[in-house]
Structure 1
Amino acid sequence: MTDDTLSEAAKAVIRRNTEQVQGGGDWALYDELFSDDFVDHTPQPGRTPDKAGALELYKTLRAAFPDFHAEIHWQAAQGNLVTTYKTYHGTHRGEFFGIAPTGREVRFETVDAMRVVDGKITEHWGVANLFSLMEQLGARPGTP
């Protein structure tokens, strides 16, 4: 398999996760796409850095934003490591980090890198603009 072929296959796995798991709530596909020894190097607060912790985050997001979905702006890959820049969209219809549903439509940007080995996601590093999300929900963190 050439490096280009490997990169395209890895990008396809990440797109399936973004569109079908995050955007569609396909938890059976989640189990298929994520390696049992998955490691999240940048877990969200209160989440474990493993497969179970990532699934819990995905389910929390879908419960709070039932129409949660992403617009992928671009993907770049070097071998099996895929970087994706995307904007998440959703309507706040369930509790999220202690914030009661507001009915507000939100959007926030994310950049993440995920490694794919043998068709499964094995590692994740990411940065999400959660400050923007919290502002849109009317919750502003205290100032120092």
Structure 2
Amino acid sequence: MDAMGMDATELAHGLFRILETGDPALAVDVVGEDFHNREAAVSPPACALPGPAGVLASGAWMRSAFSDLRFPVLGIVAHDHQVWVRLRMQGRHTGAFVRFRDGVLDQAIPPTGREIDFEQIHVLDLRDGKVAGHEAVRDDIAMLGQLGVFPPAPATALSMLAWRVTGRAARAAARVTAQAAEAAALLRDDRN
């Protein structure tokens, strides 16, 4: 079904399905060309791209850190041109979770093998039958606690320090940045 036929609830489910799967066709159907993700500040630069490309990059970034990534929806409320989605972010931390600040490496959490499962609330702006904007209220402290980062578990803190000192954190950031850029480029490749 094309986005013009999707209601607000279907668009919301579609956005999170894109993050789970990296489906470029679904991204084009669900995400508007002028889409803006307010939450892209902690992710690789490609995640801040407007439109479907930025969403594909965001999904690649998250899937690079969390296998079996899923976003089970707990509730959706739609009003006028806005949708509020309450959900859980779940997955297993099997890759480096790299966070950025102003486009540069801020923190790299080496894979812990731990499960994450925490609640989030997302606010989606809709325009012309597509998702045009995104912002979120996330319990990042709960996620960092599940990963052993906050409060710092000694083994996790030592692993993070070793990664930074040996350059593995920088290499992980470069790899994740490239993966996000490649995911964003899928649309350019599909359109040529």
Q: Normalised by the shorter chain, which TM-score bucket?
A: 0.7 to 0.9
Correspondence 1:37 to 2:34: yes
Contact in 2 for aligned 1:42/1:49 (Cα 8 Å): no
From the CA coordinates, give the structure whose radius of gyration is larger. 2
1:15 is matched with 13
**Given the two structures, how large is their TM-score scaled by the length of structure 1?**
0.81
Q: Name stretches of at least 5 consecutive residues in structure 2 with no aligned partner.
A: 99-107, 153-192
CA distance in 2, matches of 1:75, 1:93: 30
Cα shift readout 1:4-40 (whole Å, capped 9, x = no counterpart): xx9x81111111222x212223233123321121122
1:117 is matched with 127
Correspondence 1:93 to 2:91: no
1:77 is matched with 78
CA distance in 2, matches of 1:11, 1:31: 17
CA distance in 2, matches of 1:16, 1:89: 17
Q: CA RMSD in A?
A: 2.3
SS of 1:23's equivalent in the other structure is helix
1:49 is displaced (CA, Å) by 6.7
1:89 is displaced (CA, Å) by 0.6
1:72 is displaced (CA, Å) by 0.6
SS of 2:97's equivalent in the other structure is coil
Q: Pick which of 69-78 and 122-131 moved more.
A: 122-131
Q: Calculate percent identity across the aligned residue pairs.
A: 27
Q: Pick which of 20-29 and 40-49 moved more.
A: 40-49
CA distance in 1, matches of 2:39, 2:20: 21
Cα shift readout 1:53-111 (whole Å, capped 9, x = no counterpart): 44322211111112000111100010221000001110011110211111111112110
The alignment covers a number of residue pairs equal to: 135
CA distance in 1, matches of 2:64, 2:27: 16
1:130 is displaced (CA, Å) by 1.1
**Given the two structures, how large is their TM-score scaled by the length of structure 2?**
0.63
Correspondence 1:127 to 2:137: yes
CA distance in 2, matches of 1:42, 1:105: 22
